[in-house]
């Protein structure tokens, strides 16, 4: 699958990166000395939105790895503690597992939202050949011959 390149104007890139850095339109306007309506217009462009969404998703993915490793360590620590003491609260462990699950679901939703807005689609096709155990091609014919002893 080939991805279509998104072209962003230099001013769009500057405003998008400033928005990612400062986190607010008002601060972008102050830092760049650009009127608010111009900043809003540029941030509403499809390619700029896509760029910002991608950066957020990528940043979240890197943070997810760090947070995931920390959660794994906390779960491991709770299990060790329970094993050593023979006493533990299943609620603590359940809360950690629930948090890990929620993070994964949020990541999947964010990825789906990004794909929806960018037009990128992942599709898996499965072909089922009923009544033909190994297909109709050369491989299927060979397997039939081998199994039937021809």
pLDDT digit string (tens) for the chain, length 150 residues: 445 677 889 999 999 999 888 888 899 999 999 999 999 999 989 889 888 877 877 766 556 666 777 777 877 887 787 778 877 666 777 777 777 777 777 777 777 776 665 554 555 666 555 565 556 667 677 777 777 765
Which sign, positive or negative, has the C-alpha torsion 22, 106, 1, 116? negative
112 vs 122: CA distance, rounded Å: 10
Sign of the CA dihedral with 60 first, then 66, 72, and 78 last? negative
pLDDT of residue 102: 77
CA dist 26 and 12 (Å) reads 16
pTM for this one? 0.43
Domain regions of the chain by residue span: 7-44, 45-148
Model pLDDT, residue 115: 64
pLDDT of residue 1: 46
């Amino acid at each position: 699958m080939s991805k279509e390149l998104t072209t962003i104007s230099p001013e769009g890139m500057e405003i998008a990166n400033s928005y990612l850095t400062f986190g607010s339109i008002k601060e972008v306007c102050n830092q760049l000395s650009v009127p608010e309506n111009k900043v809003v217009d540029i941030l509403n462009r499809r390619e700029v939105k896509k760029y910002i969404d991608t950066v957020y998703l990528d940043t979240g993915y890197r943070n997810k790895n760090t947070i995931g490793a920390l959660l794994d360590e906390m779960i491991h620590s709770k299990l060790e503690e329970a094993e050593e003491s023979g006493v533990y609260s299943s609620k603590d462990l359940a809360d950690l597992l629930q948090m890990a699950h929620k993070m994964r679901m949020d990541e999947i939703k964010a990825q789906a939202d990004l794909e929806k807005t960018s037009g990128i689609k992942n599709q898996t096709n499965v072909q089922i050949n009923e009544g033909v155990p190994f297909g109709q091609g050369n491989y299927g014919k060979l397997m039939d011959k081998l199994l039937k002893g021809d």
